[in-house]
Structure 1
Amino acid sequence: MTQSTESSAGTIWLSKGAFDKLTAELEHLKGPRRQEVVSAISAARDEGDLKENGGYHAAREEQGKLEGEIVKLEQVLLKADTTVPSDDDAVAPGKVVTYKFDGDDDDEAETFLLASIEMKPYAGDLDVYSPQAPIGAALTGAKVGDAVEFEGPTGRAIKVHVLKAVPFQD
């Protein structure tokens, strides 16, 4: 499912590559992996007394975890937005954002990907901040050159300057 990056707050921005990998993972979990667990349960059940059968109980626990992971992945993919963000100077989900703290004399710029945490395994060395995180919420919609202030985790006001906002490339 692809929607505009400006759709509801429940939308999760994923790159097309991440979407494809998560789809393949879901297919694996629902197919071969699910069959492995069902086979393990069946084999353990054939051993007899289920009350004292540790293998059976372990396999059933594994089945519960697997089904939970399947539901989670289905929800992520259902909410996924793979729209490539526009190549303007505005900060939006799917953009790699470079900023500098106000008054930071060491000229050290910080860079992150504005996306949901599900993008973390696919973002390389980039930190990933969600649009709901304080810095993500504050910077969303800001343009290159803007100074934005937000409340940090300690309650202190933090001011940053947007230096760059470019679409993420897989």
Structure 2
Amino acid sequence: MPENRLVAGEPAPLFTLSDANEQQVSLKDFAGRKTVIYFYPAASTPACAKQACDFRDNLNTFAAAGYQVLGISPDEPKALAKFAAEDSLNFPLLADPDHRVAEAYRAWGEKKNYGRTYQGLIRSTFVVDEKGLIEVAQYNVRATGHVAKLRRDLGLD
């Protein structure tokens, strides 16, 4: 595993970002709660919609176990609002257009697609415990099936 990735036991990088309604949401808002933070490349794309809908459809299971779910992408709040409305998403989507939070979580980096190398968002998921420490750090996750795997990993099944 590359040494620049976050690992369990490290403090989760703090952040404050705008949500789809342009309200400020901070990781500190969820202090004392377990928080699932997932980074996805783009609102309203098929793979990202599939992943977001999987979180939506499993939100009650996460909530019952004490987890808050937050989605973060490089999109602007207006695009997030449209995405949330299109797919009836019922958890906060946060805008990180300058990808500074993605960089802090090491979820921004080199990608390869069709022989082209570029900088972009690496689909990643983090679980932050009640003390603000990284409990789980998963990089290069797949959009399809990831939520089910995360549920298994967290013992929620």
TM-score scaled by length of structure 1: 0.25
Q: Which structure has more RCO (C-alpha within 8 Å, separation ≥ 6)?
A: 2
From the CA coordinates, give the structure whose radius of gyration is larger. Answer: 1
Greater helix share, structure number? 1
TM-score scaled by length of structure 2: 0.27
